[in-house]
């Protein structure tokens, strides 16, 4: 989860409940299903995020609706194995974790969340990060 409270801790009990109900290996917060959403982003940022997720869905078929989000609950042993297997850095790491989880046969549950843009500081998302995302996406596509 983001340390700036863009991912609100109020959703944690829902993650725990979802994990217990479905015995999931991973529970991922999703901005793109149910009553999930984003607040505080301009149209450009929303289009970039939706577009990135859309392209990733088509190329990677991940079994999760929000690949670029990072609000997740993992079983400890699952997270350890996924981190050992992953090589990506930055935003692509978030996608690789889910892609590898699917490869290893781990189950993924989802909880709709609302993401609120940070109040202090600025996003790291810029041209370099978009290029890195595209390179990483192609790497993950070739890997699957």
Banded model confidence at residue 125, pLDDT cuts 50, 70, 90: low
Residue 120 has pLDDT above 70, yes or no: no
Tokens 């790491």 label which residue? 93
pLDDT value for 144: 76
Distance CA 6, CA 71 (A): 10
Contact of 71 with 113, CB cutoff 8 Å? yes
pLDDT tier at 16, thresholds 50, 70, 90: very high
pLDDT at 99 over 70: yes
Asked whether the predicted pLDDT for residue 24 surpasses 90, the reply is yes
pLDDT at 143: 83
Q: pLDDT at residue 6 above 80?
A: no
Percent of the chain with pLDDT over 90: 54
Distance CA(82)–CA(85), nearest Å, equals 5
> Could you tell me if 56 and 139 are in contact, meaning their C-beta atoms sit under 8 angstroms apart?
no
pLDDT at 75 over 90: yes
- Candidate ranges 42-51, 105-114, 132-141; pick with highest mean pLDDT: 105-114
Helix or strand or coil: residue 17?
A: helix
Higher pLDDT, 21 or 126: 21
Beta-strand runs (E) in 53-107: 72-74
Report the mean per-residue pLDDT for the chain.
89
Q: Strand, coil or helix: what is 14?
A: helix
The pLDDT of residue 89 is 81
Decide which of 125 and 130 is more confident: 130
Spatial separation of the C-alpha atoms in residues 13 and 1, rounded to whole Å: 14
């Amino acid at each position: 989860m983001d340390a700036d409270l863009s991912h609100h801790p109020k959703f944690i009990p829902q993650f725990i409940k979802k994990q217990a109900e479905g015995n999931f290996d991973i529970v991922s917060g999703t901005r793109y299903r149910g009553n999930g959403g984003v607040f505080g982003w301009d149209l450009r940022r929303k289009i970039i995020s939706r577009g990135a997720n859309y392209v990733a869905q088509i190329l990677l078929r991940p079994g999760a609706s929000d690949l670029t989000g990072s609000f997740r609950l993992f079983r400890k042993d699952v997270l350890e194995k996924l981190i050992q297997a992953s090589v990506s850095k930055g935003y692509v790491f978030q996608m690789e974790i889910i892609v590898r989880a699917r490869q290893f046969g781990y189950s993924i549950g989802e909880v709709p969340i609302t993401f609120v843009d940070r109040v202090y500081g600025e996003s790291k998302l810029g041209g370099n990060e978009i290029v890195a995302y595209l390179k990483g996406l192609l790497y993950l596509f070739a890997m699957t």
